[in-house]
Amino acid sequence: MDKIKSLTNKFMTTEKKISDVFYYSYTSLKPFYKLIILMILILASLFLIIYAWQLNKENMVLVASRGGRLNEGVIGSPSVINPLLAVSEADRDLVSLIYSGLLKFDNQGNLTTDLAKSYQISEDGLEYSFTLKNNLTWHDGEKLTADDIVFTINKIKNPALKSPKRINWEGIEIEKIDDKNIKFILIKPYAPFIYNLTLGILPEHLWKDIHAENLALNPLNLSPIGSGPFKIKNIKRNKSGVAEFYDLEPFENYALGEPKIALLRLRFFPNEDELIFAHNRKEIDSWHDFSLANNTTFNINSQKKEYSGSLPRIFGVFLNQNQAEIFIYPEIRQALNLATCRDIITNQILEDGKKVTPIDGLFPPGILNEDEELKNSWEKGLEEAQKILVENSWSKNDETNVVSKSITDKDGRKKEISFSFTLMTSDSPELKKTAEILKGCWEKVGAEVEIKIYESGRLNQDFIPGRKFDALLFGLMVGKEPDPFAYWHSSQRLDPGLNISSYANIKVDNLLEEARETIDKDERFNIYEEINQIITTENPAIFLYSPKFSYFLPTNVKGVEFPRLFSPAERFSGIHDWYIKTDKLWKIFAEPENIIKE
């Protein structure tokens, strides 16, 4: 210890002697030389500062950092936040944020891996083998394995669950190879199967003891745990138990990386008017796809950016021949189609057709062909409709202006049947106005139309499943693979099937089945064209228009590449890359995926 002290004292003494030498040498210099030394020191310091600044500038990069919040407005209220059962848009929005599948759509609308690390398809198209990524977990920290995949697929195939997606999994078996590998085995080739694998996966450890019959009513559907980019932080409900908002926070172990937005709040509104009111009070930042008729009351400022694109969705009037006898007659269905004023609907409601395209077939524009003009004008169609009715012995009552026909029933009794029916739709302003326009147009051909409006939730719950309507003004979603099987095959006439017109045609059934087995895309789309021609000739539905999608976000939300959408919920497909906050870091310390290209 004494030796260390001695050495320390010697060092300090030597250091003092050296500093004293420099001090006395400097003080002994003439003022001129002192000034030169001072200038040299100043210039050296400036050089070092400039060099350090330039070095810092060249090596610093702008990076996306975690932080910020986004308040999104959604019309509707969640009721079944479950990827196997979700039907409403509010449910689908939350499913897309909370759950993840083996695959997902990227920003360009192409399939990419999500939970899957890789996959292979056999040459005959009958086996799909998947390997999961390492260290996958659920929001509650439990390990995610192949068992969860097997459980989810077997559950959706259970008829007792009544999943609307069950039809897409018929005849498909799943085999667990080990904890990270699974194989799907098809009985015969099924062209659209790959898209099934975007289905959100359920955690077996939470759902395994719940019977399929009771699954839809389980509280887990309102407080779900998934493996998607966001997990639930908080839920606020009103006195009736209806959700006012869900607060979501980033999932740190999400398969594609932890999202950067610190808090995402989805606020739910019963209708567009209340959403608009909340926006004008600056209570929400973003929203999507509301009726353009309300634009005049919507204060959109320069702090918002609109993202838009085509949406594979069609709206039409679906005719229920099982409930409304009038629709049994082909000439009545044909007259309705001819007398439908599509151009008036698109012009009067949706600002001269800027946000929609009128259609007269099963598919949105661009699916089978590019946008086409409608074949006939409404005025010409109205003349043809009137002519067809006269040719089939329908006559108009001069007092009521309603056409009718005398028929003989199966018991040999004569009766008068009138061209009268009820048109049912939801309380959306766009659909209510469409219904009024249709009523006016169809009355000119002698129809008597009563309009009934219901809240969309009640419509989906009380009327559509049991097909309790005469005519239904409604929208159908068409996926990336425009397979119309679920909407038009006769096996889908009963709930939970989506053939809401209860349409049945053996030839169409055979073509729909053939299309699913046809791997070649051109051949498959030729079959779709044939199906389209048959259905538009028989008119089980009156097709109206296909909408375009608009999504408004604050300009400070960056990293948004608006995808080619196949459903509104897919606007969140790249949300793990969105960011609000930024920072500057030396390039060597920045993660490459977070660097912002200026």
Nearest to 477 by CA among 239, 240, 310: 310
488 lies in the same domain as 564: no
pLDDT of the residue at 353: 44
Query: Which letter, b or e, does each residue of 140-159 get, where b requires 16 or more Cβ atoms within 10 Å of its Cβ?
Result: eeeebbbbbbbbbbebbbee
Nearest to 59 by CA among 579, 590, 596: 590
The CATH number covering residue 378 comes to 3.10.105.10
> pLDDT tens digits, residue range 140-183?
999 999 999 999 999 999 999 989 889 889 889 999 999 999 99
234: amino acid identity, one letter: N
374 lies in the same domain as 507: yes
Q: Which two tokens stand for residue 72?
A: 């999104």
84 lies in the same domain as 220: yes
Residues 6+ apart with CB under 8 A from 303: 554, 555, 556
360 lies in the same domain as 335: yes
> pLDDT tens digits, residue range 487-513?
999 999 988 888 999 999 999 999 999
Asked, for residue 584, whether it belongs to a domain, the answer is no
Q: What is the pTM of this model?
A: 0.72
Q: Where among 63, 87, 113 does a domain terminate?
A: 63
438 lies in the same domain as 567: no
117 lies in the same domain as 59: no
Model confidence at 21, pLDDT cuts 50, 70, 90, reads: low
% of the chain residues with pLDDT over 90: 56
Q: Measure the CA–CA gap between 547 and 106, rounded to whole angstroms.
A: 22
Asked, for residue 331, whether it belongs to a domain, the answer is yes
Asked, for residue 299, whether it belongs to a domain, the answer is no
* Bridge partner residues of 113 (DSSP): 103
Residue reference for tokens 């848009």 = 89
> pLDDT tens digits, residue range 366-376?
777 655 556 66
412 lies in the same domain as 538: yes
Q: Where among 21, 38, 63 does a domain terminate?
A: 63
Average pLDDT over residues 212-238: 95
Q: Where among 548, 567, 593 does a domain terminate?
A: 548
468 lies in the same domain as 487: yes
What is the domain count for the chain? 3
Model confidence at 6, pLDDT cuts 50, 70, 90, reads: low
Model confidence at 238, pLDDT cuts 50, 70, 90, reads: very high
pLDDT at 7 over 50: no
The CATH number covering residue 76 comes to 3.40.190.10
Task: Transcribe 245-269 into DSSP letters.
Answer: EEEEEE-TT-TT---S-SEEEEEEE
Burial tier of 430 (Cβ tally within 10 Å: 0-12, 13-18, 19+): buried
Nearest to 426 by CA among 8, 89, 29, 57: 89
> pLDDT tens digits, residue range 253-283?
999 999 999 999 999 998 888 998 898 888 9
237: amino acid identity, one letter: R
Residues 6+ apart with CB under 8 A from 578: 259, 260, 261, 557, 558, 559, 560
> pLDDT tens digits, residue range 77-100?
999 999 999 988 899 999 999 999
Burial tier of 204 (Cβ tally within 10 Å: 0-12, 13-18, 19+): buried
251 lies in the same domain as 157: yes
Q: Measure the CA–CA gap between 465 and 401, rounded to whole angstroms.
A: 34
Cα 538 versus chain centre, distance: 31
211 lies in the same domain as 337: no
Question: Residue 135's domain spans which residues?
Answer: 69-286+557-578
Q: Measure the CA–CA gap between 119 and 177, rounded to whole angstroms.
A: 13
Q: Which two tokens stand for residue 412?
A: 């040999």
Asked, for residue 76, whether it belongs to a domain, the answer is yes
Asked, for residue 593, whether it belongs to a domain, the answer is no
Asked, for residue 495, whether it belongs to a domain, the answer is yes
Q: Contact, 436 vs 450, CB < 8 A?
A: no
> pLDDT tens digits, residue range 384-420?
999 999 999 999 988 899 999 998 877 778 889 999 9
Asked, for residue 519, whether it belongs to a domain, the answer is yes
24 lies in the same domain as 139: no
First CA to last CA across the chain, in angstroms? 60
Q: Contact, 473 vs 317, CB < 8 A?
A: yes
pLDDT of the residue at 430: 83
267 lies in the same domain as 378: no
